[in-house]
Amino acid sequence: MRLLVEFSHPAQVHKFKHALAQLRKMGVEILILSRDKDVMLVLLDQYELPHLCISRARSGLLGNVWELLVREWKTLFIAMKFRPNLMLSAHSVAITHAGWIMGIPRLVHEDTEFGHLQQKLYIPFATRVLTSTAYYLDWGEKQLRIPSLEPLAYLHPKYFSEDPARLKRYGLSANSRYVVLRLISWQAMHDRGLHGITQSQMDTVVETLLSLGYEKVVLSTEGEFGQMDWPEIVRPDPEDLHHLLAFAELCFSESITVAGEAAVLGTPTLLVNPLRAGHTLELERYNLVERCDDLDNALSRAVEISADHDSKARALASRSRLLEEKSDMTEAFVEIISQELGLQGQECNGYGK
C-alpha cells in the first residue's frame, strides 16, 4: 500500500510524524511532499522523514497564487508516477485536486475554521475531512470528528517527555524564570488585513517582560525579525522549542499553533491574535489559553500572571484534566488511515459527525 502525504506548514510534520512511523511499521510505503517554509525542512531531516520539496513559501497574494500553481502541477505529476492508494494532507488544495483527477481517495485534516478561501478550493474535492470535536464548522457526511486536540498528536505524554537538559545550552534550567515569545510573519492567506507586533514595538515588549523578573526571553519567529541585541534574548533551535515551552512560566504568542502547544504542556499562555480557532477556544474552556485582541491588553495580563505565583501550578492541574478527558489523536489517525487503506477490517470507532 502506498500513501502520498503533503505538508505545507511545519506544525503538520509534528502532527503526523508518529502516525506515519506506525504506518511504516505496518508496511505502508510513504512519500512526503514538503514545502520550504520556516523550519519545515529542518524538522523533516531531523526526524529522518524522506521528502521531496516541491515549492518555497512566498509572500503576498500573487506569490501565494504562483506557489499554488506550482504545487498543483508538481503534485499531479508526482502522483501519476507514485500511484498511491491514498492521499493525506492538512488543508491542502493541490493534493485533493490531484487525487480527484486520478480517482484516488483523499483524507484531509482541517483545523483552521477561518481559512475560507482554501476551504472553498479543497473541501469539495476531499473524500474525508478529519477534525477534532472542538472544530466548530460542519462539513456534513464526509467529516470525521476525533475527541482530541491537534497538539496531543505529538505532545501527549505517550510521545513527548520534556527534557531539562535541553535548556542548558540557553543558560537556563528547569527552575529558571523565563518567557517564550513567539512571533509570526502574518503572510498566510487567512492573515490578510491583519498585523502583529511591529519592529518598533519589540523594545517595549521585551522591556516589559524583563521588568517582570524573567531572566530570559526565548524568541521564536517565522524568519528573521530584525536585529535584537538584547543579551537576555535567546533564539531556540527548532528541536528544542517544545522543551522550552514545557518549562516556561509564560508563553506570549501570536501563533495559534504555538499557543496550543504551550497550553497542552501546562504553561500559562497568552494568545495575541484576533482569529478564533476551535481548538484554542476549547483550551480557553480549560483555562489553559487566554486570548488577547490587542498588545496593550496582553502586556497587562502578562504583568498580572507574573505576579501570580500559583499560575503555573494551576495550568499543570488543568493539563492533567485535559489529558484525562481527551483521546490520543495519533491513535485515531492510524486507525482511520489503516481503515481507508484496507489494512484493518474495523470501522473508525467513535468518530463521526
- One domain, residues 184 and 129: no
Q: CA-CA distance, 114 to 128, in Å (whole number)?
A: 19
Looking at the chain, how many residues does it have? Answer: 353
SS3 label, residue 319: helix
State the total domains in the chain.
2
For residue 224, count other CB atoms closer than 10 A to its CB: 8
Residue 348 lies in a domain: no
Please name which of 322, 231, 333, 329 lies closest in space to residue 283, comparing C-alpha atoms. 322
Residue 351 lies in a domain: no
- One domain, residues 168 and 317: yes
Grid coordinates in use for 72? 498543483
CA 229 to chain centre: 29
What crossing angle do the helices spanning 256-264 and 278-285 adopt, rounded to 10°?
A: 30
> What domain range includes position 308?
164-325
Output the pLDDT for position 223: 61
- One domain, residues 193 and 290: yes
- One domain, residues 230 and 286: yes
- One domain, residues 29 and 131: yes
Identify whether the C-beta of residue 197 lies closer than 8 Å to the C-beta of residue 183. yes
Residue 353 lies in a domain: no
Residue 155 lies in a domain: no
SS3 label, residue 293: coil
Grid coordinates in use for 129? 475531512
- One domain, residues 87 and 224: no
SS3 label, residue 31: strand
- One domain, residues 273 and 337: no
* Cβ-proximal residues to 152 (8 Å cutoff; 6+ apart), any chain: 264, 323, 326, 327, 328, 329, 330
- CATH number, domain of 97, equals 3.40.50.2000
Output the pLDDT for position 350: 54
Q: CA-CA distance, 8 to 106, in Å (whole number)?
A: 16
- One domain, residues 114 and 169: no
**Residue 267 backbone zone (phi > 0: left; psi -120 to 50: alpha; other: beta):** beta
Mean pLDDT, 10 residues at a time, over the chain (353 residues)? 93 93 95 91 89 89 88 96 96 92 96 88 95 96 96 96 96 96 71 66 90 94 68 91 97 95 98 91 96 92 95 98 96 95 65 56
Pairing state between β 29-36 and 269-272: unpaired
Grid coordinates in use for 254? 501570536
Q: Please provide the distance, in angstroms rounded to a whole number, between the alpha carbons at the two ends of the chain.
A: 28
pLDDT, tens digit, 9 for 90 and up, residues 136-192? 999 999 999 999 999 999 999 999 999 999 999 999 999 999 999 999 865 555 555
- One domain, residues 7 and 21: yes
Residue 202 lies in a domain: yes
Which residues sit opposite 53 in a β-bridge? Answer: 34
SS3 label, residue 152: helix
Please name which of 61, 51, 60 lies closest in space to residue 8, comparing C-alpha atoms. 51
Residue 315 lies in a domain: yes
Task: Compute the chain's Rg from CA coordinates.
Answer: 20
Cα within 13 Å of Cα(242), Cβ side? 20
* Cβ-proximal residues to 314 (8 Å cutoff; 6+ apart), any chain: 287
Output the pLDDT for position 227: 58
